[in-house]
């Protein structure tokens, strides 16, 4: 048992904290709105190897575990970088797993995206990274496919400030898997996406807390910093609990995912609170951190007072993304319904 980061992960954290802190400043984030994509930042992140970091070494990637990727994701979230990094990493891993690793994808030269919902009538709806990706991976009926096509020029303006777009299943199409294997591969990739998004949301929440602490210690009212008032302190004290708990949960999901990939099946006994099942932990991490980041940014914005609502202040950037980057998938409450199906069994008395 080890509930802290390894030395290697601490080194990864330092590198990416430095990278995103320098390259993805609030000014860069703002300049990329409303489309939510900064091509220059993408080129820079490609130089770090992050896009193909999670691809197996024998497929030409960095061989990083999900646990390592979760460390990168938290730093990515802390800087709300305007690039679809998680979506690309997940897509690149799917390609490599099915023998289709492509150097241009591993390097990030071609941007890949992962459709979070199966295609309906030949279209994947609101694919994250969809407005900039040349390659879309998604489920189409009983096939998991990779479709190469030119991305649309623009993203619909959206609360997440993400490069979203509907994408067609038509184009240069490669079938990666069919039948049960396709559904299993899709589920696996979606669980990876939920896990890494959960870690991203931990970063957003942690940064929102950091900004709140800076503000409440410098803002003077009634002759003292507002952070000296107990009403403010008590409310802020909740945030590190949710952030630390959420980080542990995201890392536990990543650990279960790495075990699953190594052929070690998870275990699920909710009655005994004994759970190492990847799908369940990924869903839990998504729900808990979607709520946690929404709450942390809400409190941080609130304690900025009217300035928090002003466009000029940065906290509103985090507030919108804390909600948007989770909701590009779905309502956490509906995810709870899916978790219930796995944990408690199907709804047998309802016909």
Partner 1 sequence: MDFELPPHVIEFRNTVKRIIRDVVTPEMIDEMHTSGTFTNHTLNRALAKEGLLERAVPGMGMGDPLELWVLFNELEKAGAPYDGISTSIMVAGVVQQVGTDEQKQAMIPTVVSGEALVCMGYSEPDYGSDVASIVTRAVRDGDEFVINGAKMWTTMAHEAKWLILLTRTDTEVPKHKGLTMFLLSMDTPGITVEPVHTMGTERTNATFYDNVRVPVSAVLGEINGGWRTMAVALAFERGVMGGTNVAVPMLRHFRKWAAKHIGDDGVALIDDTLVRERLARIAIDNEVAKLLTQRSAWIAASGGLPGLEGSMTKVFASEAYQKAVRWCQQMAGPAGLLQFHEPNAAADGWIEYDSRHSPVTTIYGGTSEINRNNIAERHLGLPKAR
- Residues 333, 338, 343, 347: is their CA dihedral positive or negative? positive
Q: Which is nearer to partner 1, 104 or 269 (CB)?
A: 269
State both tokens at 164. 């979203």
Q: Work out how close the CB of 332 gets to partner 1 at its nearest, in angstroms, rounded to a whole number.
A: 9
* Only segment of 117-125, 147-155, 195-203, 219-227 that touches partner 1 (CB under 8 A): 219-227
Subset of residues 220 to 249 that bind partner 1, contact rule: CB under 8 A: 224-225, 227-230, 233-234, 236-238, 240-242, 244-246, 248-249
Q: Which is nearer to partner 1, 152 or 227 (CB)?
A: 227
* Only segment of 84-92, 146-154, 298-306, 342-350 that touches partner 1 (CB under 8 A): 342-350
CB contact at 8 A, 328 and 126 = yes
Q: Work out how close the CB of 270 gets to partner 1 at its nearest, in angstroms, rounded to a whole number.
A: 5
CB contact at 8 A, 138 and 114 = yes
**Which residues neighbour 99 within 8 Å (Cβ) at sequence distance 6 or greater?**
none
Fill in the per-residue mask, 3 to 32: x = in contact with partner 1 (CB under 8 A), - = not in contact.
Answer: xxx---------------------------
State both tokens at 225. 């910093």
Q: Work out how close the CB of 304 gets to partner 1 at its nearest, in angstroms, rounded to a whole number.
A: 16
Subset of residues 165 to 184 that bind partner 1, contact rule: CB under 8 A: none
| Count of residues of this chain found to bind partner 1 when the rule CB under 8 A is applied | 55
Q: Does 339 bind partner 1 (CB under 8 A)?
A: yes
Q: Which is nearer to partner 1, 181 or 327 (CB)?
A: 327
44 vs 303: CA distance, rounded Å: 34
Q: Does 153 bind partner 1 (CB under 8 A)?
A: no
State both tokens at 44. 């820079």
Q: Does 217 bind partner 1 (CB under 8 A)?
A: yes
Structural element, H or E, at residue 245: helix 230-261
Subset of residues 275 to 334 that bind partner 1, contact rule: CB under 8 A: 275-276, 281, 284, 287-288, 333
Q: Which is nearer to partner 1, 227 or 324 (CB)?
A: 227
Query: If phi over 0 gives left and psi between -120 and 50 gives alpha, with beta otherwise, what is residue 37?
Result: beta
- Burial of 167 per CB tally in 10 Å (0-12, 13-18, 19+): buried
Q: Does 255 bind partner 1 (CB under 8 A)?
A: yes
Q: Which is nearer to partner 1, 46 or 249 (CB)?
A: 249
Helix runs in 4-123, H state only = 7-23, 26-31, 39-48, 66-78, 85-97, 103-107
State both tokens at 226. 């507002």
Binding-site member from 270, 295, 313, 316 for partner 1 (CB under 8 A): 270
CB contact at 8 A, 304 and 315 = yes
Subset of residues 22 to 81 that bind partner 1, contact rule: CB under 8 A: 67
Strand, coil or helix: 94: helix
Looking at the DSSP bridge assignments, the partners of residue 221 are 224
Strand, coil or helix: 168: strand
Query: Contact residues for partner 1 (CB under 8 A)?
Result: 1-5, 67, 209, 213, 216-217, 224-225, 227-230, 233-234, 236-238, 240-242, 244-246, 248-249, 251-252, 254-256, 270-273, 275-276, 281, 284, 287-288, 333, 336-337, 339-340, 343-344, 347-350
């Amino acid at each position: 048992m080890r509930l802290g980061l390894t030395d290697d992960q601490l080194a990864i954290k330092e590198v990416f904290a430095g990278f995103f802190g320098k390259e993805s400043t609030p000014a860069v984030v703002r300049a990329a709105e409303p489309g939510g994509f900064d091509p220059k930042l993408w080129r820079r992140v490609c130089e770090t190897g992050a896009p193909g970091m999670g691809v197996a070494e024998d497929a030409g990637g960095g061989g990083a575990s999900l646990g390592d990727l979760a460390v990168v994701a938290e730093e990515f979230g802390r800087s709300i970088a305007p690039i679809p990094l998680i979506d690309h990493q997940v897509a690149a891993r799917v390609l490599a797993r099915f023998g289709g690793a492509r150097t241009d994808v591993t390097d990030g030269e071609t941007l890949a995206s992962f459709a979070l919902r199966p295609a309906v009538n030949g279209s994947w709806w609101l694919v994250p990274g969809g407005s900039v990706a040349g390659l879309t991976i998604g489920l189409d009926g009983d096939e998991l496919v990779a479709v190469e096509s030119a991305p649309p020029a623009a993203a619909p303006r959206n609360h997440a400030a993400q490069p979203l777009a509907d994408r067609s299943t038509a184009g240069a199409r490669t079938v990666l898997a069919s039948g049960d294997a396709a559904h299993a591969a899709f589920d696996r990739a979606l669980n990876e996406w939920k896990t890494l998004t959960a870690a991203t949301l931990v970063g957003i929440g942690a940064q929102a807390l950091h900004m709140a602490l800076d503000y409440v210690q410098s803002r003077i009212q009634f002759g003292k910093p507002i952070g000296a008032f107990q009403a403010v302190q008590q409310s802020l004290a909740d945030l590190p609990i949710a952030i630390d708990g959420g980080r542990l949960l995201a890392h536990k999901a990543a650990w279960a995912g790495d075990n699953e990939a190594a052929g070690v099946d998870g275990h699920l006994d909710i009655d005994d609170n004994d759970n190492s099942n990847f799908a369940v932990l990924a869903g839990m991490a998504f729900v808990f951190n979607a709520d946690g980041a929404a709450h942390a940014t809400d409190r941080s914005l609130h304690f900025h007072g009217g300035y928090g609502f002003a466009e000029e202040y940065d906290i509103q950037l985090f507030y919108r993304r804390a909600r948007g980057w989770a909701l590009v998938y779905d309502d956490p409450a509906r995810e709870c319904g899916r978790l219930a199906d796995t944990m408690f069994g199907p709804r047998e008395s309802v016909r």
